[in-house]
Amino acid sequence: MDSDKVYLRIAGITFSQVQAGAYALVLAEVNGIRRVPIIIGTPEAQSIAIFLEKLNPPRPLTHDLFISFAKLLNIQLKEVFIYKYEDGIFFSELIFTDGIKNIRLDSRTSDAIALAVRTDAAIYTTEAIMKEVSIEMEEDNILDDEIEKDLINRTEKSLENKNLEELQQSLDESIVLENYEKASFIRDLINRKKDQEDK
């Protein structure tokens, strides 16, 4: 394994008290005390939680269907790699293998984690990302309000210098790229800025 890559596991998931309609997923450094909190949307949070709680939905969820389809084609999810952090958003890729070659697909981090929990695929990120966003925690406690506020503030600070026109452009780009978590955050930020201008 690349010495720069950090091995992660899921430490917990909880409803966000800071950002309405979102959840906080906590990834923990294996054999370490650093934690990486990630804001994810409701559908992905439910998909992850259902599997972690070993619940059996009456019909396959989208992530279950994807894994079943991959198995039919003899393709296995080998690894999730969170390779970039920009403007408060994590970028990931899925690394599949057909037994001969590796196949890489870009993915939203929340979808990547939802697939990883279903296949026991390894989850990695870079040391650079860990140094930028991780929080040191001695135990696997779910995020408290102060830590979660820090998470939200980091995302907001990366966008707060943009004007409404630039934010709208970022919102449109996020929707086109189907990055709905980022789009939701930018939409809320636009509304707050508009409210401040009206006062």
Can you read off the two tokens belonging to residue 137?
A: 């925690």
Catalogue the long-range contacts made by 57-60 (C-beta closer than 8 Å, 24 or more residues apart).
Answer: none
pTM over 0.85: no
Specify whether the CB–CB gap between 188 and 158 falls below 8 A.
Answer: no
81 and 167, same structural domain?
Answer: no
Count Cβ atoms within 10 A of the Cβ of residue 82 and give its class: 0-12 exposed, 13-18 middle, 19 or more buried.
Answer: buried
Residue at 64 is within a domain: yes
Q: What is the pLDDT of residues 124-144, one digit of tens each?
A: 999 999 999 888 876 655 555
Domain count of the fold of the chain: 2
- Regarding whether 80 and 12 lie in a shared domain, the answer is yes
pLDDT of residue 47: 87
Containing domain of residue 178, as a range?
159-198
Cα–Cα nearest to 4, from 125, 95, 112 = 125
Domain membership of residue 150 (yes or no) is no
Each residue of 41-71: pLDDT tens digit?
Answer: 888 888 888 888 777 777 888 898 999 999 9
